[in-house]
Amino acid sequence: MRLGLIGFGNIGTALLGLIAEGAPLDHLTVLVRPGAADAARSRLDGELKGAARSHALVSDAAGLLADRPDLVVECAGHSAAEAHAPAVLRAGIDVVLVSTGALADPALEAALKAAAAEGGARLILPAGAVGAIDLLSALGAGGGLEVRYRGIKPPAAWAGTPAAEILDLASLAEPAIFFTGNAREAATAYPKNANVAATLALAGAGFEATRVELMADPSAPGNVHEYSVVSPIANYTIRIENKPSSGNAKTSATTIYSVLREIRNRLGPVAI
């Protein structure tokens, strides 16, 4: 496979590390910010050497497209999704959008869908940090969904977010809910922490109807995602205790494996 990567931070690096443990990609194209190329090159030529038979670094979508990727993974954030993903989709190349929270912006959601339709490509929304998205998405067809999500992370994982203005994160002794609202509000206010709320909304009841609580908990066993679904067809509750990823406490480790799954499902004879 020829893989394109938009963003080369925590997820991108860990993903390539996992790929390097298995079969190498035929070619890898990494889109990095201007100024980040040297550091990226040394990682690709060093510890990530085994990830691809050849690689290139580019700084815009035109460079990415010139390398003819079979699939592009966005793992950079809202602004990168907005800047680069539409051109990739218009060129007929599928995009795995890890920053699902970016779709809480209705204009960007419409632009990405239009670009995908124009290019005959697909915008693929991975399960990311959460699970049972297949079931939620399937139940959505039956209507009448009630979805309640609670995101629980250690206080440090909420640093640099509006939670830090509501709570004294450094001295928090008890669990504290600092946000209650819908998934659109959560994904907009906490773009690096509430992608799960967006993924659940997109799979199930929509941004407005998906209820969200965000909590800081000093005794959280990691990044915990729990949600319950009530529907005419089935009810379920799921709780996932994620380890934080080593390069970014805000990102749950399962996210990286979820993206790896999207790639593997396009390589082997069976997709699951």
Ligand X SMILES: NC(=O)c1ccc[n+]([C@@H]2O[C@H](COP(=O)([O-])OP(=O)(O)OC[C@H]3O[C@@H](n4cnc5c(N)ncnc54)[C@H](O)[C@@H]3O)[C@@H](O)[C@H]2O)c1
Interatomic CA distance for residues 250 and 192, integer angstroms:
7
Q: Between 231 and 254, whose beta carbon lies closer to ligand X?
A: 254
DSSP letter at 268 equals S
Q: Check binding of 29 to ligand X (CB under 6 A).
A: no
Q: Check binding of 40 to ligand X (CB under 6 A).
A: no
Q: Is 225 a catalytic residue?
A: yes
The two tokens of residue 44 are 């690709």
The two tokens of residue 203 are 């799979």
Q: Between 233 and 240, whose beta carbon lies closer to ligand X?
A: 240
The gap from C-alpha 53 to its chain's centroid, in whole angstroms, comes to 26
Q: Check binding of 11 to ligand X (CB under 6 A).
A: yes
Interatomic CA distance for residues 204 and 147, integer angstroms:
8
Site string for ligand X, 172-191 (x = CB under 6 A): -------------------x
Question: Residue 165 Cβ, how far from ligand X at the closest point, in Å?
Answer: 20
Q: Which stretch binds ligand X (CB under 6 A): 4-12, 48-56, 65-73, 131-139?
A: 4-12
Name the phi and psi angles at 150, rounded to 5: -125, 125
Q: Please, are residues 201 and 210 in contact by the beta-carbon 8 Å criterion? A: yes
Q: Which residues bind ligand X (CB under 6 A)?
A: 6-11, 31-33, 75-77, 79-80, 83, 98-101, 128-129, 191-192, 195-196, 199, 247-248, 251-252, 255
